[in-house]
Amino acid sequence: MGKKSVVVENNSKEICRLYDLGHSRREIKRKFGVSDSPIERILHNSGKTLRNYSQANRIKKREAVEKVIPMVDDGATMVKIEEETKLSEWLIRKIITEDGRLTKRKEQRIKQKEKIPQILSLFDQGYSLRNIYYKVRCDYYFIQKALDKFRPKKRRKVFQDIMLTQEEKAIILGSLLGDACIYDGTKSKKTANVRWTYVNKEYAEFLLQKLKRISNYRKPTKRLQDNGYRGNGTYWHFETRALCSLKELDNLVKKKDKKTGKLRKTVTLEWLHRLTPFSLAVWYMDDGTKLPGGTIYICTQSFSYFEHKIIQNYFQKKWKIKTHIYQAPSDKPYYKLKIDVNSIDYFFDLIKPYVVDSMKYKLLQKVPVLICSWCGGKFKPLRSIWGSKIQGKNVNCGNPKCMHLSRLYLDYKHREIKRKLAPLTSQEWMEAREEKIECPFCREKNITKFHFQRFYGDYPLACDKRECKALADKYRLYKYQQKENVLNVKDWLEHRKIIENLKCSICGQFFKGSFNKLPDKRKKNIFCYRKECLHTQRLYIDYCYRYRENSLELDSWLLKREEKVLYPFKI
């Protein structure tokens, strides 16, 4: 016996069982991989009558009806029934039809036949196959077959044009400056359609709701993108119908490029003058960016420098909004439009009523009216200063006096913190600063408490008079030179006063001197301010330096000098 016959003999019981269930000899042969003769021999020996393929299907059918019908009632698909029952598709369909039931495919065909009048009416109105498919939502091949049956194969294309409203034009013209694209709707180039692609779903739904009259989309379609300038992720797409009215906007927006010879979006004054505040809002929601420091850009890299100049002049003349052209740091000359800081509030007031809630993160907070902490006046700060510098408790209006006071207070505050003391508030500091203190030089109460703390440090307090400031400088110099046994200001001023009429040791005349002219242990002689006396004083000092211990007194030196004994010292 061969190997295959041994396999059949060992599985004889299994072969008989499968044959009783309705399996044909061909199916059993394929399962065990043997020929017909050993299987027929086993069936003949076991007393089984041989049957053909149709007789086997009848046996299967009786056993399968109990399994198939409940699964059809539960809504199982044909594939699922085939996998679980392991019956052929032909047999399953036969069981379902004999039971008086319909398959899902037949139900779909019946529903599609009911939509034929709607398909024909849309075709007569001028809808294309794609637009009819989006409206009716049935098989694309069925629509084509129905039109071939009930209408001629070469259909005449009828364009039912729709006149655009002002709001629809504003949205389309504004979005074409941003992320929207416009294409030819047909090969004849008599129509055009506009397409949008956005990452923000709510914004896409908002625009589609506004343009639903000229679009066949009920909601934006979700698409995946693996590469490109948008990066990986999902985005939302919708488009309008192909209309002749959109072709007018296409001719307005696109101009022939001189370099390439192709049509491309080109900014012109005719295009810009048809924009409305709603158009500007759509443009900003598409391409506007907000930086953390409060800078606002509109990304317009696809336009040339000359086109940026046209946009800049348009904003200045039409809306009184000042802008700047910013060149991005890259190899290619890309440009952006930067809105001036002083024009941001007016620009946002213009577009804020039209901005969607999901796009309000691009808006900046409005700068409030503040009260100056020093003069009490109301003022509106610049946005660049408001964003970073003056959000604290103490603000100044920009007046030089208020700025000077704020600097003095900050210095006082830092000084007190270094000393580990609690500084006064700005109001308490202002009240304490108004208290008048007596000037030690002129004895008048005309200086404030914190007046000289910033500029003079260890200087004595002095008023704004020039004489008092000069005395304060001299006292500080005296204090620095003396170092030990330093007099206070009052004693130093008393010694500086003129005590008596001093007598010059050379000419014998009396003159008014000061504390510095009084003789001390080193100074026995007093000299006045005359030129002759000062010259004589220098000669005498030179003489004393040369002869030192052998030098004469001033009186004897003067007598010998008159007698011309001291020749080297002759005038």
DSSP 27: H
pLDDT (0 to 100) of residue 453 = 44
Owner of token pair 């005309």: 446
Do residues 286 and 278 make contact, with C-beta atoms less than 8 angstroms apart? no
Output the DSSP codes for 511-535: EE--GGGS--SS------S-HHHHH
pLDDT (0 to 100) of residue 187 = 61
DSSP 379: E
Q: How far apart are CA 233 and CA 168, in angstroms?
A: 29
pLDDT (0 to 100) of residue 106 = 67
CATH for 166-266? 3.10.28.10
Q: How far apart are CA 77 and CA 287, in angstroms?
A: 48
Do residues 392 and 408 make contact, with C-beta atoms less than 8 angstroms apart? no
Cβ atoms within 10 A of the Cβ of 328, count?
Answer: 12
Q: How far apart are CA 134 and CA 122, in angstroms?
A: 11
Do residues 190 and 175 make contact, with C-beta atoms less than 8 angstroms apart? no
Q: How far apart are CA 524 and CA 521, in angstroms?
A: 7
Output the DSSP codes for 393-452: S----S-HHHHHHHHHHHHHHHHHHHTT--PPPHHHHHHHHTSEEE-TTT--EEEETTSS
DSSP 243: B
Residue spans per domain, the chain: 108-150, 166-266, 280-362, 370-432, 435-496, 520-569
Residue 528 C-beta-side C-alpha neighbours within 13 Å: 16
Question: What are the 10-residue block averages of pLDDT along the chain, 571 residues in total?
Answer: 62 77 72 75 72 64 72 77 76 72 66 85 78 80 83 52 88 93 75 84 92 87 64 78 88 89 91 94 93 86 92 94 87 86 89 93 82 83 56 73 86 84 83 78 74 48 82 82 79 67 77 54 65 84 81 82 56 40
Enter the tokens of residue 223: 């698409």
pLDDT (0 to 100) of residue 279 = 95
Measured distance between the N- and C-terminal CA atoms of the chain, rounded to whole angstroms: 160
Residue 47 buriedness (CB in 10 A; 0-12 / 13-18 / 19+): exposed
* Shared fold status for 166-266 and 280-362: yes
pLDDT (0 to 100) of residue 455 = 39
pLDDT (0 to 100) of residue 280 = 95
CA 235, 239, 240 angle in degrees (round to 5)?
Answer: 165
Fold for domain 280-362? Endonuclease I-creI (3.10.28)
Enter the tokens of residue 321: 């909004």
CA proximity to 423, closest of 452, 450, 461: 450
The size of the chain, in residues, is: 571
Do residues 393 and 426 make contact, with C-beta atoms less than 8 angstroms apart? yes
How far from the centroid of its chain's Cα atoms is residue 420's Cα?
Answer: 42
CA proximity to 461, closest of 437, 426, 431, 429: 437
Do residues 37 and 67 make contact, with C-beta atoms less than 8 angstroms apart? no
**Cβ-proximal residues to 333 (8 Å cutoff; 6+ apart), any chain:** 305, 327
CA proximity to 22, closest of 41, 48, 44: 48
Tens digit of each residue's pLDDT (9 = 90 or more) over 52-71:
666 666 666 666 777 777 78
Say whether 221 sits in a helix, a strand or coil.
Answer: strand
Cβ atoms within 10 A of the Cβ of 129, count?
Answer: 14
CA proximity to 275, closest of 303, 310, 240, 227: 310
Q: Are strands 436-438 and 445-448 parallel, antiparallel or unpaired?
A: antiparallel
Q: How far apart are CA 272 and CA 266, in angstroms?
A: 11
